[in-house]
Amino acid sequence: MNAIKDHAFASDNNSGIHPEILAAIARANRGHVIAYGDDPYTRKAEDTLRNTFGREAEPFFVLTGTGANVLGLASLLQPYHAVICAESAHINVDECGAPERFCNCKLLPVNTTDGKLNPDNILQQLQGFGFEHHVQPKVISISQPTEMGTVYTRDEIESISQLAKKHDLYLHVDGARLANAAVRLNLEFKAFTKDAGIDVLSFGGTKNGMLFGESVIFFRKELAEHFRYIRKQGMQLASKMRFIAIQFDTYITQKIWKANASHANEMAQILYKETEQIPEIQVTQKVETNGIFARIPRKIIAPLQKEYFFYVWDEATNEVRWMTSYDTQPEDIEDFTHFIKELIHQ
């Protein structure tokens, strides 16, 4: 069985660990250091994140992306609060109700065509302030890039941030793939996070070459005040923190984030150009990062999945999701699209 081929376009989560990240983990695997993050690797990685996101940033390492989102939100919410998010948001559809359970909050989903919120569509849910029978909106959460692979510009984020501030709401960003957005925007991380008015960020690297581990970054010190306790109670405090920390440090200082995300995004463009040539396939979203959404003939879904597993996004319309990764090769795309054409013409 060829494991790479079987899962080549299913998810960037299916890829392995980037060799430089693996080597860094091995370098940290020396002797004893104090557990739970009170160690030099963690101090250094926190410093690196502060250099990247601004000296006032308060970074914390956690274990998973869901954990980062849920605990970041938990630090902002009371039980009568609500989070406005896109209907397609990971927090809404892919976290098994963890935000509702652990934050005791209600999610207020907004219908979008491309996964993006904006000051107009947010108005669908921006209501009920001061009315005791209505849950009180307190956070706007966006994903950058979105689950549909689309990207918010810095101006778009700023306009959402302004709306949030006007209504005394916080702006939370799920940045599980933030590097792919940074490459697309050709901006440094700080320019479209802290400088665009974000309050709390989930910053991930697992989908872009890291082994595991995510971070929650607060851009206002007071919001981070209780996070140490929230993290421990939320079961996301890693005892061997140094192995998460060294990954982040290497990811940033060696610019692995940039090389990997640039490659994954470029591969998506190649896949997009190839699929565009196939009249039976309609790409349904702008290809701005490393995901491609497309309607494909129903008859090819099962046989294609058998060779190259991937997820069907919408059964009703035969829309599927293909994702490229930091280790996708042009030959993988060539084989894949060749096989698609064969199946279509069978």
Ligand X SMILES: Cc1ncc(COP(=O)(O)O)c(C=O)c1O
> Which spans of this chain sit near ligand X (rule: CB under 6 A)?
13, 64-66, 69, 90, 143, 147, 174, 176, 206
CB of 1 to ligand X, least distance (A): 24
CB of 177 to ligand X, least distance (A): 6
CB of 62 to ligand X, least distance (A): 9
CB of 90 to ligand X, least distance (A): 4
- Residue 157 structure tokens: 């984020």
Ordered strands of the 282-283 beta sheet:
282-283, 291-295, 319-323, 311-314
Rounded Cα–Cα distance for residues 214 and 234 (Å): 14
**Contact in structure between 215 and 62 (CB atoms under 8 Å):** yes
Under DSSP, the state recorded for 289 is S
Could you tell me which residues are beta bridge partners of residue 84? Answer: 108, 140
Could you tell me which residues are beta bridge partners of residue 81? Answer: 136
Torsion-angle region of residue 260: left (phi > 0), alpha (psi -120 to 50) or beta?
Answer: alpha
Helix (H) or strand (E) holding 345: none
CB of 331 to ligand X, least distance (A): 26
CB of 144 to ligand X, least distance (A): 9
User: How is 164-214 classified by DSSP, letter by letter?
Assistant: HHHTT-EEEEEETTHHHHHHHHT--GGGGTGGGT-SEEEEE-GGGT-SS-E
